[in-house]
Amino acid sequence: MTEKLYMINSYLNEVEGKVLLNRKVGDEYHTILDKTIFYPDGVGGQRGDKGWINDVIVEKSIEKDGKIIHITKDKIPGSTALVKIDWEHRFQIMQQHTAQHIISSCFHRLFDIPTISFHASDGFITIDLDTDYLENYETEKVEELANTIVQNNFLVKSYFPKEEDKSKIDFRKSPKVNKNLRVVEIDSIDYSACGGTHVNYTGELGLLKIIEIYKQNGKARVKVLVGKESLLDYTKKNNIVYNLAEKLSANSDNLIEKFDMHVESKISLSENYASLKNSFFQLLKENSMTNLEHLGNYKLLFENFYRLNFSEAINYSKFFEEDNIILILYHQNNELVQFLIKPCGNTTINMELLMDRLKNKYNLRGGGNKKLLQGIIYISKNENVIDIFRNELENLNI
């Protein structure tokens, strides 16, 4: 059994111990000490510690049969161990775990919503709650009360109660174990059975901020920032607000109003632009229809769409859907020709054969269906793109 010093004092960041076992397992070394300050990975939703033993990096630590196994890539020298943990990492974990107790307690106290589980990551925590939906006002009330608890700097303490005292404790959630029961108490506000690391005073959390609410496995999940991460997030978002306000000639009080006006103006401009474009397309079509040419029983319309991008060319082609013509839109850039061929109205041609011929002769890159063929072909400098398409259509025996 390893003596787990982190359960006695979360602030210990260096300790000396004895090496009880040091063996190679595959490409790793597994070391067991008589005592440790390393909190193991994956226990109770809390992240494990980072650190060193005799200056050898501990990749991770795990708990097995009451023993803490320290896993390293290199062998730890000697029979004694100088154990050090990454204090910044540990303190963030302590803040996060205490924050979870406070947030969970506030949801329970204010809205009788139990916590299902919690997960800690580098920079934030998530708490899964036993409800399928949360109102914004609920998270706002929880956040307000939680930060009041932080600001009042209440004492956080952990202890192992006597058997006769266990039934007197008002646990937020009934303990799953009875043996070696450890209680984390926040100054008569919250009692939880917990083996994790915590701060000594709630004021050490600085600031709590719920930044996101979403569903996970059908239940509500909140994402929470703690301490420095909350401040960094506030600074980032404050800069965003400031920059947006400057661009919109607004301030933080009327920014949303100005942004809504900007969006409405953009929508209006887009609608006006679409209307003008449709009018332009209609005029362009009327002018183009005077340039029809005949090929057998078919009417062909060749048009260079140099004034349009390809997306606009596709939209323009829709203006011919009621006309019994074969529309050929193209744009040439040296040896590269971008094109669109569309049988309109009741006109039909063998598009599959046309596609095959263009692939074989002009390295077609593109595709289509019975109603539209689009893509890119490559021609030589002395070839004429209109002649090419006219000849290929004529060879379809149309």
What is the average per-residue pLDDT within 122-137? Answer: 95
What is the maximum span of the chain, computed from C-alpha positions, in angstroms? Answer: 104
What is the average per-residue pLDDT within 207-212? Answer: 97
What is the average per-residue pLDDT within 296-302? Answer: 93
pLDDT of 23 higher than 70: yes
pLDDT of 397 higher than 80: no
- Enter the pTM of the model: 0.74
Residue 340, Ramachandran bin (φ over 0: left; ψ between -120 and 50: alpha; else beta): beta
pLDDT of 288 higher than 80: yes
> What is the pLDDT, as a whole number, of residue 45?
77
Secondary structure (DSSP) of 279-295: HHHHHHHHHHGGG-EEE
pLDDT of 103 higher than 90: yes
Q: What is the mean pLDDT of the chain?
A: 94
Q: Which is nearest to 389 in space by CA: 373, 366, 370? A: 373
Q: How far apart are CA 49 and CA 47, in angstroms?
A: 7
8 A C-beta contact, residue 154 and residue 200: no
Residue 121 amino acid letter: S
Q: How far apart are CA 227 and CA 125, in angstroms?
A: 12
pLDDT of 187 higher than 90: yes
What is the average per-residue pLDDT within 31-54? Answer: 93
pLDDT of 318 higher than 80: yes
Q: How far apart are CA 192 and CA 180, in angstroms?
A: 14
> What is the pLDDT, as a whole number, of residue 323?
95
DSSP state of 49: P
State the pairing for strand pair 326-333/298-304.
parallel
Please give the structure tokens belonging to residue 229: 């991460």
CA 10 → CA 5, 300, 310, distances in Å?
A: 8, 83, 64
What is the average per-residue pLDDT within 216-236? Answer: 96
Q: Report the percentage of the chain scoring pLDDT > 90.
A: 88
Confidence of residue 376 (pLDDT cuts 50, 70, 90): very high
8 A C-beta contact, residue 118 and residue 103: no
Confidence of residue 398 (pLDDT cuts 50, 70, 90): low
8 A C-beta contact, residue 224 and residue 103: yes
> What is the pLDDT, as a whole number, of residue 25?
95
Residue 371, Ramachandran bin (φ over 0: left; ψ between -120 and 50: alpha; else beta): alpha
Give tens-digit pLDDT for 170-180: 999 999 887 88
> What is the pLDDT, as a whole number, of residue 237?
95
State the pairing for strand pair 124-129/51-53.
unpaired
> Which element (helix H / strand E) includes 276?
helix 255-288
Confidence of residue 43 (pLDDT cuts 50, 70, 90): confident
Q: Which is nearest to 320 in space by CA: 296, 295, 346, 339? A: 346
8 A C-beta contact, residue 40 and residue 15: no
